[in-house]
Amino acid sequence: MSSSKSGAKGGAIIGGAIGGAIGVKFTHKLYFDPSADQSDTGGYWITDEELRQKLANLIDTEEKIKNASVYSHPLFPYQLTNWKMFHAFIIMETNNWWWSIEKNSECITIQRSKNLESVRDMYQREKRTTGWTSLTKIRNNETTRGGNTTIKELINYIWREDCLNNIYHLHIANCQKFAALVFDRIKSPYNDQVYFDEAADQPRSTTSSCYMSVDKVFSEVQRLSASETFTRLEIYKVSISSWNIPDFFVPDFLAFLFRQISELFSHHHFVIFETDKGTYWSFERLPTRFTIQRARNKDILLKECQRNSRETLLSKSNLEKSDVAVRQNMNAVLGFIWKKDKTDIFYMPVEHCGTIALLIYDQFKRK
């Protein structure tokens, strides 16, 4: 449950709780107040398309979350108990700031302040609602350590989950559901690791790891590909093994079927993008995870995967298709794969690496 003023004083509480019934409409925007404890600053309205880049320009997105808490307060000032009628929001602490993040029937709001009280006790410069008893004060319900999650990774996660396009609903997409989504991500980072090597043709530092979360990959790729634009793309096909089915052992129709299955399972496919800066990116699905590599030497991407020779288990990479690419970058590929409505691609079985490669190829070739 929530309100158009997230439990701020007045009739906005009731209007928001009822939702669109009296005209309140979810804006599909995020409101960011960078200095909630200062009276002379204004906020920013940010769309889904602007979310990651615009916030990155406004804040230090590499700040690590030290801890996070789920807070709640009543929707109505005359409540005697919270029961199920309460607004939930998240408070986060970093080294330099206090942050709040929450959803209501109007928007998603992020506030930042040097003082805890300015984001815990206030929403968009108005006092949050409290009830008549000690049971209906603003209360901390649960706290967790932030681990190594950064503000930017959390923003990437919110974007991937399509939260700004997930219309507010009183029961199934309310403030409590959103708070739980954010808190769970901080409490238990998802094990959706990707192998990402930003310089596959250079010696690797012994202190660096190529295994990272999807949200971390988004940050790294955004940093590296911002000034690079695709010029060409290619699909490569690599033989893994040959399954020769003797025709005389099985009927003709079964032999044909086995050959089709053999073709599906005995080849690996991957995509290579060339950019206008003389760099190359490979993107492919392996048995345990997706692998993304970047290099200035294209031959390395053809010969090696995760610093191992492709010819150890595979044969020589063969070019299957080549075309002019759309004027986008690897950041757009990640969005195509990991944005909420495309997660079915991410979870495709590894044997469908050819399908995944073809989907990416068709999406990013110039029409």
Q: What does 290-355 look like in DSSP terms, one character per residue? A: EEEEEES-HHHHHHEETTEEGGGTS---EEEEEEEBPS--HHHHHHHHHSGGGHHHHTS-GGGHHH
Tokens linked to 348: 């495709």
Cβ proximity of 82 and 170 under 8 Å: no
Q: What does 230-298 look like in DSSP terms, one character per residue? A: EEEEEEEEEE-------GGGS-HHHHHHHHHHHHHHSEEEEEEEEETTS-EEEEEE-SSSEEEEEES-H
pTM of the full structure: 0.79
DSSP helix/strand/coil, 227:
coil
Which candidate, 61, 256, 39, 58, places its Cα nearest to that of 149? 61
Per-residue pLDDT of the chain (367 residues; tens, 9 = 90+): 554 454 444 333 333 444 333 336 899 999 999 999 998 777 999 999 999 989 988 998 889 999 999 999 998 888 777 677 899 999 999 999 999 999 999 999 999 999 999 999 999 999 999 888 777 899 999 999 998 899 999 999 999 999 999 999 888 889 999 999 999 999 987 667 899 999 999 998 766 789 998 999 999 999 999 899 999 999 998 876 533 334 444 455 554 554 454 455 567 899 999 999 999 999 998 877 899 999 999 999 999 999 988 875 545 778 999 999 999 999 999 999 888 766 666 667 766 788 889 999 999 999 8
pLDDT of residue 228: 96
Q: What is the 3-state secondary structure (H, E, C) of 87-125?
A: EEEEEEECCCCEEEEEECCCCEEEEEECCHHHHHCEECC
pLDDT of residue 355: 87
Q: What is the dihedral of CA 176, 6, 126, 146, to 10 degrees?
A: 30
pLDDT of residue 346: 67
d(CA 30, CA 164): 7
d(CA 281, CA 275): 8
Nearest 5°: the CA angle 278, 268, 295 is: 20
pLDDT of residue 265: 52
d(CA 285, CA 293): 12
d(CA 8, CA 45): 19
Cβ proximity of 235 and 361 under 8 Å: yes
DSSP-assigned beta bridge partners for residue 321? 235
The amino acid at 7 = G
pLDDT of residue 247: 41
